[in-house]
A and B are shown apart, each in its own frame.
Chain A
Amino acid sequence: MFGLFKRKALATNILGINERNVTYVYAKNPKRHFPLADDKVLCKEVLHQHQIACAETYGVIERVGDIASVWASVQHHQALAIKPANGSGGGGILILKKEDNQWTKSGKPFSEYQIFAHLAQIIMGMYAFGSSDKVLIEQCIEPHPFFHEIYPVGVPDFRIILLNDQPIMGMLRVPTDKSDGKANLHQGGLGIGMDMATGRLTHAYDGEQYHKTHPDNNNKILGKKIPYWETLLALSIQTSKAFPLDYLGIDIVLDKTFGPMIMEINVRPGLGIQLANRKGLKAILDSMEQV
C-alpha cells in the first residue's frame, strides 16, 4: 500500500511522536518546569512578571471558601473568562458577559448560583481528572475582525512552535460549522498553514484535504496577510525566552483592541501542524540542531 520510496521520504521529513518526545519534549524541557506550561495560573504569573501581553488576570480562586470574595472583587468588569488552571481541550471554560447588570452566557442569563456551582466544580477537579484545581478569571478576548473575515464564530488562535527561542512553524486554527465553535484540529476545526517568511496564510487542512477558502463560507484564506505579523513573532520569541523551556508550542490570540496576546503555552505541541503546513518539522529541526 505504501512504497518504500514514500516511506523513506516521510521518515526523513516528518517528526513522529517518538522523536518529538525523546529528542525535543524531554531533552529540551526539564520536567520540573512542565507545570509552568500545564498550569494556566503559573503560566500567567510568568507572563505578567515579564510584562508579556496576555489577558489580564482578574482573579484566582484556590479554595471553595474564597469563591464569594474573589467573585465580588471582579464585579466591575463587563466581560470575563473563567477557566480551570489544569483543564484540557477547552473543557470547563465559561465566557460571561454583563447585560443590564446581569451576567449572561451566550446571551442567556446565568445566575450567581450557577456561576458558583461552576467555580466549585472546577476547584473540585471536574475538568482535571478528579484532582483538585484552581480557577483562573481573566479578561475576555474580543476576536480581531481579521478572524471574522474568515469565520464569524468562536475565537481562532495562532499556534507557533519554537525551538531554542526561534519560531519554526506556525498555524492558524479556525472553527468550522462541524467543530461547534472549537478550533482544535481533532474536533473538526481547520488548521491553516502559515508562511513564516512573509506572514501570509497558506492552505487550510480539514483533516482530510486542503482548501484555498473556508469550506463553510468560501471566504478567502490562501495568501491572506496576517495582521501584526512582526509583533506576533516578536511576542512568541519574548515568551519563549521568559520560560525555561526550549521546545514549545505557543498559542496566541488577536484581540480587537489590544492586538496579539499569549493564550497559553504547551510543552507537548501536537504534530498535526505539519499537515496544516504540508511540510515536515524534522528537516527544519535537524538543520537547526546542526548549526
Chain B
Amino acid sequence: MTPKNLYRYVAYALIVLPLATVIWKFNANPISLSGLWPKEIYTLTYEFDLSNLRENAFIKAFLPQSNNRQVVSQPIYTGDTLAFETILSPTGKIGVWTSEQEKEAVFQWAVEIESKKIAYDLFPDMGFETSFSEEVMPYLEASQHIQSKDSTIDTLAQQLKAGDFLTTMQNNFLFVQQITNSNTGVLTDALTTLRRNRASCNGKSRLFVALCRAQGIPAKVVGGIILENVSKRTSHLWANVYYQGYWIPYDVLNQHFAELPANYLELYAGDEFLIKHTKDIEFDYQFHIQRKYGTLTKSASIGPQLWPLLNQTGLPLNLLRGLLLLPIVAVVIALLRNVVGLKTFGVFLPALIALGLANVDLWWGLLAFLTVIIVVAILHYPLDKFGLLHTPKLVIMMTAVVITLLGLSVVSIQYQWTSLSRSMLLPVIVLSITAERFAKTLVEEQLPEALKMLGYTFLIAGLCYPIFQSDLLLGIFLHFPEIYILLLGLMILLGRWIGMRVLEYQRFALLAT
C-alpha cells in the first residue's frame, strides 16, 4: 500500500463497508420500496375519565379498523382496567368497557394509524343505477335524522337531480355548500339544516345524504376523526355515496368532492354516536393525537436510525429534508461540474436556489427569480460606472431585490396570483448573490457567457429541486445513514479523477482530427 494510492484504498473502504451493511440490513430484514417512504403516522389515544360507576355501567365507543385506505395497529391499553370486549356491528367496531363494581376509572386506549388519501374520478357520462343489493338497500330509506321522504327535501332533491350521476352530485354538493357554516356540536337533522340554512358538519352531511336518498342514490353518513397534532374532543361527520360497488366520500363542509384526505380516520358508517354510555356516570373524554414520521411496518431496525430526528427535533419536515438531502445534492452538483463540466455561479449556489424554491411554487418562483436577476443586471451598469465599492454596491442590489419582490407581491395580490405572492418567501440573500454574480459575469465575460452560466445554474437548480422534494430519498437516508459515508468515498475518488469533462470534448473538438 503505497502512500500514493492510499486515498484509493480509503475510498474503496468507505464505499464497500457501507454497501455491505446496507445489503446485510436488507437481507436481515427485507423491506419493500414503500416501506422506505417516511409517512405521517398518527398515534390516537382515547382517554376516558370515569367516576360514579355503578355495577354494570358501561361505555361504548367506535374503534378504528383497518380498511383499504387506513392501517390500524394493535391497541395499547394503559390505566385502570375495566372488563373489555369488542363487538362487530354493521356500522363499525365497537369497544365496550364494563365496570363490575362501583369504582372510578381513568384509562387510555391507543393505536397507531397510517392512512392515505383516496380520490375517485367521476365522468359526465355516468348514468344512475336502478337496482341495488340487499346490503345497500337500507341506505335508500329515510331515517330519524335523515328525512329523505319529507316533501320539502324531496322537492329540492328532484330539482337538483340532473341527467347523470356526476352533475347530480355536483348540484347536491354546491347546494349544501352554500349553507352557512356553524360550529355547533349539537345534532342537527337534515330538515332543520335546510330550514335554518345554517349547520355544522353533521347537519350538512345529513342533508347531503337525504338529498341523495331522495334521488334514489344510496348514501350514508360516516363518522370519524380528523387526525391533526392536537388533543381534542371533536369528531367529524361526512358522507359516503354508493356508486357501482364503491362508497365514494364527500365532505361538503371541508370541500372534499369524491375524495378523502389522508388524515381522515374513519370510525363508523351510519347515523350513530361515536361514544355512548350508561346514564348517571360522570364522564369525560379526550382524543390525544400525535403526528410523527415513520412507517407502521417496522423495517430495517438494525443499527443507528435517524427516525427520532423527524419526530423529536420539532423541525418542519421540509427543513429537515433539505438538511438530510443536502449531501446527495452536493454530490450531484460535484458530478455535473467535474464530470460534465457545467459552469455555474458559485459551487453550491444552485443547491441554495433549489432549496429556496422549495418553499414556493416552482414555476412562479423561477419567474420571480428571473425578474429579480434582470432588474439587478440592469442596475449593475450604472453602479459599475459610478465605481462603487463592493459592499455598498451589494447593499444597493439587495435592497433592489427586496423592492422587486415587494413589487411582485403587490402586483400579484392585485391580480390574485396567490402563488406569485408567495415569492416573498424566496431567500433574499441567495437571490442577491445570484443576481450579483450574473451582473459581474456580464461585465467580465459579456452576455452570451453570462447567459450560459445563468442557464446552467438554473438547470442544476432544477435538477436539485426534485431531489430536495424526494421522500423516498429521505427514507433511504433515514434507514441507511451509512450511505453518507459511501458518498464520502465516492467524492474522494472524484477528487482524484483526471478524466476529461464531457463539455471539454466539445471545447477541444477542433483538435480531434
Contact = CB atoms under 8 A, between A and B. Distances in A.
B499 interface: yes
Contact of B501 (A18, A23, A129, A188): A18
Counting chain B residues whose Cβ lies within 8 A of the other chain, the interface size class is: 20 to 34
A259 B506 CA distance: 38
Secondary structure call for the B interface: helix
Interface stretch (B147-155, B172-180, B373-381, B383-391): B383-391
Contacts of A275: 507-508, 510-511
Contact of B499 (A9, A18, A129, A278): A18
A100 B505 CA distance: 55
Contacts of A115: none
B511 A10 contact: yes
Interface in B458-513: 495-501, 504-513
Contacts of B507: 275
Interface of B: 338, 341, 387, 389-391, 444-446, 449, 495-501, 504-513
A65 to B, nearest CB: 17
Given A22-B496, A186-B449, A275-B511, A14 B504 contact: yes
A121 B389 contact: yes
B511 A279 contact: yes
Contacts of B495: 22
A13 B498 contact: no
Contacts of A274: 508, 511
B444 A91 contact: yes
Contacts of A278: 510-511
A43 interface: no
A89 interface: yes
Given A10-B512, A278-B511, A126 B500 contact: no
A273 to B, nearest CB: 11
Interface of A: 2, 6-7, 9-11, 13-14, 16-19, 22-23, 89, 91, 117-118, 121, 124-126, 129-130, 186-188, 274-275, 278-280
A89 B441 CA distance: 12
Nearest to A186: B445
B398 to A, nearest CB: 14
Q: Which 3 A-B pairs have the closest CB atoms?
A: A19-B498, A16-B500, A130-B390
B273 to A, nearest CB: 70
A7 B148 CA distance: 79
Contacts of B512: 2, 6-7, 9-10
Given A10-B508, A124-B389, A278-B510, A187 B499 contact: no
Contacts of A7: 505, 512
A188 B506 CA distance: 19
A126 B499 contact: no
Given A89-B444, A186-B445, A278-B511, A16 B501 contact: yes
B387 A14 contact: no
A121 B498 contact: no
Contacts of B341: 17
Contacts of A117: 387
B439 to A, nearest CB: 14
